[in-house]
Structure 1
């Protein structure tokens, strides 16, 4: 693959983000936008002739990207052919190349004793060049089957489902309850990590391919599934896991305590509608902000609050600080549970002089003033022993805050749609359907993505969207 000794000759070097001082002044993408071809060819050359590419295994890429193949093609300057290979397994590499945490790199064979290949950078560069060169065009279907499918939800699972079914000749209509298409891609991920022009560009291609999109329609409320079943031959639910995990402690009703998605959605809507001219009530400007919960969403809250002009930011994490290197019980090729500095952490450190994360903290209650506004919260330090959480006496502390953002993950899909459709749920509250089959308990209704599997990655949503499309096609034909 590539240059046989490349992994010995070249060190891993990722493409740099825009400088912190510059990117904090706007909501543009954090990526530099300029891909250095020679640099990427050297990085592609690091891909080993490893025999068994674990980057494509169950521990690696969920859509089974042909990673060694397009690494080799980039090394040989065959970019258009690399794009063909990339699109063969991944409908939307411009999304995954920006937001995926890259489990493929965690499973890279080179990663056993060296830094992994920069797979994510190369993936993004391939698809970005494809758009720049005009290689990516609508897929025009020459013959239709006469079958109609309704897809409910326009996140990555819904869009992948729609594209695959459209390619097979079925007529697809996607229903979205929000005012814009994209689901999590549009409102769950801020513009600086995934530009909404990037999302709109792909949606426009899907529209030009013949897929119909209907916004501001909440299936299960505005229109029933029975009505849709009269008009369509099959339904696919790809609504995501949108029921957020809450924090039921004293004074949770204080004004200024919000779920992370409420905050991120309001900010993106304000940005797209008015360029922030409306000064959203959820602005962090001049406020002491506390983000409870880590992960990508917590980082996105930090980055957004910084751009809004937060006075201070602290990020609470219940668990301890991860190690810098893999622990003995976390061997390759498992996802490495190690300490990472994401873009928001880097930015907060630059602004405030220290990493915003505080570990082993449990929030016990909120404090509010006479007007009902949050003015602080109370915490205690915790430890874990034999899997049990133990509060440490004497570690109680009160923190000043005027804006609290709850970023603790999601528990399940909202259930008004499943109730309306009368489909079964699994023990976690997700829509019941077996992986690989995707059929719900109601004939003609299928489901895929986070609403079926639980909160997961964009790349897993694409995997399930492709999978459910194949099963719906079997059902229709």
Structure 2
């Protein structure tokens, strides 16, 4: 334990960020370094409670409560307070393969389940994780890892968090691992689905270099199921792990949704990052929001990323439409008790930036898009909406009902659909005749991960549907364990 009375003596201090006025001028990370003394006292706030819900990693009411990776959070909090940074790094990486990713883009269900957060304010777990891993890189503690060769060959399809996690663990126990990625860079949605100011791509590439140095083979610009048959991998390798994600974006079936200027958010973010990395946006090969009225349909992290990206392009205006009601300012214990994930209003970095420019939050709640209208060139120019109320139908289900007289027309030159994903693409599953569940995900039991086809496993969003990065990392690790058992009869991966 760090300091027995630390949670009584110190208040929560959130990580500092560059001011919105400064950061919207570039694409660099928005977080600022923390004072070492502040980091120490934030670690001291951990209560080292008898039952640390922070690392429970369970689903409560459909939401993650605690860390799915089961990170040993109280242990490394106490080690930070004592100044034992290398030991803190060892405890952190005992359960987490890539803390540099989760500390930047995970919504921190660990903090939502923190015991201290039930009565005061939760420990700044996410930012302490960031401090540990960045110090570890700076001190040279993060080095390539490779196990004694087993002679077994494994193919992994997809280099997102699940694929990289599976590759990392299988490599550490000595298997020869080859990762196939259809893009020109490694990382999946971490590379092309999350903008640079939230996760700088040098961070992804830094880990990519380490994984290559550890002996993992990467084959880029190669789409399995298109450039090479999936069956070829099954025939050539001792095991195949499918980690291709849930990349089939959810569309909007309304009049005008096919107009020019209507795009999926993931496409908007992806081509922007590629152009930024290739040419610092000088090649023009991206969807620009400059001078445009931007409407983002959908909330969540992706919607926020679209707000922030549009602002950096120099958009004329930006609005977000959310069909759900505005969350309360604080957790409502009766309907959302601790340690469930707290469903309360969050002002993220994109909203902060929009507020700094316009003085108001870009989000509009309880609003439904009825249609889109275009000009004579087939370009979107308007979005027509109506306000809705959520009411119970005859069967007791909550359904949206239009509110008469609330119709509104919004100017729009660019419409971005940020409504999540429906499931994995069909090509590989169809070719291999893999069983699918009711949501089109590849069917495989959790903690087993084997499909109906011998020596073919699946993990991450391709198996469970769109989810958090920590679930993808955990599934990749556990799938690696099951592959290792399949090949060797037992496994030391835990």
Normalised-by-shorter TM-score class: over 0.9
Is 1:330 aligned to residue 341 of structure 2?
A: no
Question: Counterpart in 2 of 1:9?
Answer: 9
Is 1:433 aligned to residue 444 of structure 2?
A: yes
Question: Counterpart in 2 of 1:402?
Answer: 413
CA apart distance, 1:140 = 3.3
Q: Distance in 1 between matches of 2:125 and 2:68?
A: 14
Structure 2 counterparts to residues 252-291 of structure 1, below 5 A: 252-291=257-296
CA apart distance, 1:226 = 1.6
- Structure 1 moving runs of 4+ over 4 Å: none
CA apart distance, 1:221 = 1.1
Deviations 1:295-336 (A, max 9, x none): 000000000000000000000000010001111210100000
Question: Counterpart in 1 of 2:459?
Answer: 448
Is 1:423 aligned to residue 439 of structure 2?
A: no
Structure 2 counterparts to residues 37-436 of structure 1, below 5 A: 37-57=36-56, 58=58, 59-141=65-147, 143-327=148-332, 328-386=334-392, 387-436=398-447
Q: Distance in 2 between matches of 1:279 and 1:202?
A: 29
How many residues of Structure 1 are paired with residues of Structure 2 in the alignment?
A: 475
CA apart distance, 1:225 = 1.7
Question: Counterpart in 1 of 2:30?
Answer: 30
CA apart distance, 1:36 = 1.6
CA apart distance, 1:49 = 3.0
CA apart distance, 1:381 = 0.2
Any idea what SS the aligned residue of 1:123 has?
Answer: helix
> Contact 2:146 / 2:174 at 8 angstroms: preserved in 1?
no
Q: TM-score, normalised by structure 2?
A: 0.95
Deviations 1:334-371 (A, max 9, x none): 00000000000000000111110000000010000111
> Contact 1:55 / 1:104 at 8 angstroms: preserved in 2?
yes
Which blocks of at least 5 consecutive residues in structure 2 are unaligned? 59-64, 393-397, 489-494
Any idea what SS the aligned residue of 1:89 has?
Answer: coil
> Contact 2:268 / 2:286 at 8 angstroms: preserved in 1?
no
Any idea what SS the aligned residue of 1:192 has?
Answer: coil
> Contact 2:6 / 2:41 at 8 angstroms: preserved in 1?
yes
Deviations 1:133-184 (A, max 9, x none): 111111133x210000000000000000000000010000000011111001
Q: TM-score, normalised by structure 1?
A: 0.99
In the superposition, relative to structure 1, how do residues 96 and 281 fare at CA in structure 2: closer, same or farther (>3 Å)?
Answer: closer
Q: Distance in 2 between matches of 1:418 and 1:311?
A: 43
Question: Counterpart in 1 of 2:487?
Answer: 476
CA apart distance, 1:271 = 0.1
Q: Distance in 2 between matches of 1:49 and 1:268?
A: 41
Any idea what SS the aligned residue of 1:200 has?
Answer: helix
Deviations 1:59-113 (A, max 9, x none): 2000000000000000000001100000100000000000000000000000111
> Contact 2:299 / 2:419 at 8 angstroms: preserved in 1?
yes
CA apart distance, 1:252 = 1.0
Any idea what SS the aligned residue of 1:315 has?
Answer: strand
Is 1:18 aligned to residue 23 of structure 2?
A: no
CA apart distance, 1:281 = 4.8
> Contact 2:178 / 2:216 at 8 angstroms: preserved in 1?
yes
CA apart distance, 1:35 = 2.8
Which blocks of at least 5 consecutive residues in structure 1 are unaligned? none
Task: Using the TM superposition, name which of 101-110 and 276-285 deviates more.
Answer: 276-285
> Contact 2:16 / 2:34 at 8 angstroms: preserved in 1?
no
> Contact 1:178 / 1:216 at 8 angstroms: preserved in 2?
yes
Task: Using the TM superposition, name which of 273-282 and 446-455 deviates more.
Answer: 273-282
Q: Distance in 2 between matches of 1:277 and 1:378?
A: 34
> Contact 1:220 / 1:421 at 8 angstroms: preserved in 2?
no
Any idea what SS the aligned residue of 1:418 has?
Answer: helix
> Contact 1:378 / 1:396 at 8 angstroms: preserved in 2?
yes
Any idea what SS the aligned residue of 1:88 has?
Answer: coil
